[in-house]
Structure 1
Amino acid sequence: MTQNNNIEFRKAETPDKDVIWEIIQQSIERRRIDGSQQWQNGYPNEQTVKSDIEKNFGYVLTVDGKIAVYVALIFNDEPAYSSIDGAWLTDGEFVVIHRVAISEEFAGQGLVKKLFDYIEDFVKMENVLSVKVDTNFDNIAMLKILEAKGYTYCGEVFLAGGIRKAFEKVLI
């Protein structure tokens, strides 16, 4: 990827659904090949993507107009986060990052780290205190990104039928 690529962060729209679903399927397969248990039980699925878009949770990072990364951002709402084995850094408003998936075509180019920059800027503009995120203990790629982006390990949450490592980054 060259420096003159046009990168844009925007809300996902209904016509994006099929491309997003394809990217999520690639990520499900990548998790499987990497030996991760995450996303191996029928979640997320096509209905998840449709619901994300309908509820305005879905966002995409595009490179020259082509969807490269998908993410769901949910403001102040993750029931599983109300009970944590550990402690969150804050108890104010937050955004939850769910379902980060990158297209195989754009993998390994640092775009997920760039996505986190866009998310953090967006969250700050909304005057929201922090970002919370969880991932599987065996999702090494995401764990490395969270460490690189300065997220603090807060404990464990029970989500989607399993125990997840939970992280938070205070932005304001």
Structure 2
Amino acid sequence: MAGLLAERGDLAALTTRADAGDKEAAGRLSSLLAKRSDLAALTAHADAGDRYAAEELVERLAARGDLPALTARADAGDITAVKRLIVLLAERGDLTTLTTRADAGDRYAAVALTDLLAARGDLAALTARADAGDTTAARRLNVLLAKRGDLTTLTARADAGDKDTAWILRR
């Protein structure tokens, strides 16, 4: 039924069915709204808890490069927006914003930041984050140090109480 309604472009009927809990109708409605670039309607549905609309909206905002809108949705708790925002920030190499978000407790940002720092071979930044309590950075730092065969630094970190480093040295 939802497929036929979508083919006809019947937004009203799709909305009625989606509001009644028809997941297929919700998905078709969101796809149709996205094809029509109706961001206002997608936003309204996403804000009402429609995850299909949230996904479509986030993808449209990302395609437009609308970081302020993605950030606003992410900061409001939209996990789809958080994940997509972090991907965009990482693709742009935006260490400043990733660091700010990671420092504020965004685990997705912490992982992306760690990945970027590791890819750049920035041991100093990884060490600083690890020493500040970022466990993701600490683990990545340990892996990089182990791959480089830097037993001196690994031993120093283990001697300073880093349990993960001590575990790596025991292996």
- Higher relative contact order (CA closer than 8 Å, sequence separation 6+): 1
Give the shorter-chain TM-score range: under 0.3
**Length-normalised TM-score, structure 2:** 0.25
- Which has the larger share of helix? 2
TM-score after normalising by structure 1: 0.25
Larger Rg: 2
